[in-house]
Amino acid sequence: MQMEWLKTGIAPLKDLISFLQAQAKTNDVHKKQVIRELQNNLNVFKNGFLNNVPPDVMIDLLQNDAIKKAIDANFNFKKLKTGSIEPYHIFDDRNKRYVNWTTDKLVDKIDEKIEELKTIKKMNNGSVAAVKNNINLMLSNLYYRMKLLADFIRTTSK
């Protein structure tokens, strides 16, 4: 699998996942579920990279159910982190385009990308192996958005 883009982020990812685990200890059910889902999705990327898991399996394992439930319940994603992303929240140059984005907008784009990947897979007989889309780039963009969301949330707790 071509997940070389994840190689540089494995060590900090472990700390980020641990942080999310601590943040999931809240009485707000939707906040807890969204944070746990983010944590689980980042674990999918980490373990997928370490074990050379094919994109089809990665896409199957990525979840956005908690985001959907939170949207249905009219959850305010600003409860994850208020304000907007500033340059000092960004640790990966490729995420500079997200300056001034809010948590709402970032979560919406994460949800949208997971849905798109799952739809592409369904449209192509359950496999992305022969699709014309650049699945590796799509997965990479999704990962970096999720990591940015986790980094952004973490800045409130330092």
- Kindly state the DSSP code that residue 51 receives in the 8-state scheme: T
Among the ranges given (25-39, 43-57, 91-105, 110-124), the one the predictor scored with the smallest mean pLDDT: 25-39
When divided into structural domains, the chain yields a total of 1
149 closest CA partner among 58, 34, 24: 34
Higher pLDDT, 25 or 69: 69
Q: How far apart are CA 91 and CA 151, in angstroms?
A: 8
Average pLDDT over residues 1-7: 56
pLDDT of residue 106: 97
SS3 143: helix
Average pLDDT over residues 6-20: 66
pLDDT of residue 158: 39
In residues, how long is the chain?
158
Segment 111-158, tens digit of pLDDT: 999 999 999 999 999 999 999 999 999 999 999 999 999 999 988 543
In degrees, rounded to 5, the angle at the alpha carbon of residue 29 between the alpha carbons of residues 28 and 33 is 120
Core vs surface per residue 32-41: b (16+ CB within 10 A) or e: ebbbbbbbeb
- Kindly state the DSSP code that residue 75 receives in the 8-state scheme: -
Q: Considering the chain, what is the average pLDDT of its residues? A: 88
Structural domain range at position 15: 4-154
Q: How far apart are CA 82 and CA 76, in angstroms?
A: 10
Average pLDDT over residues 19-42: 84
Q: How far apart are CA 56 and CA 140, in angstroms?
A: 14
Higher pLDDT, 29 or 104: 104
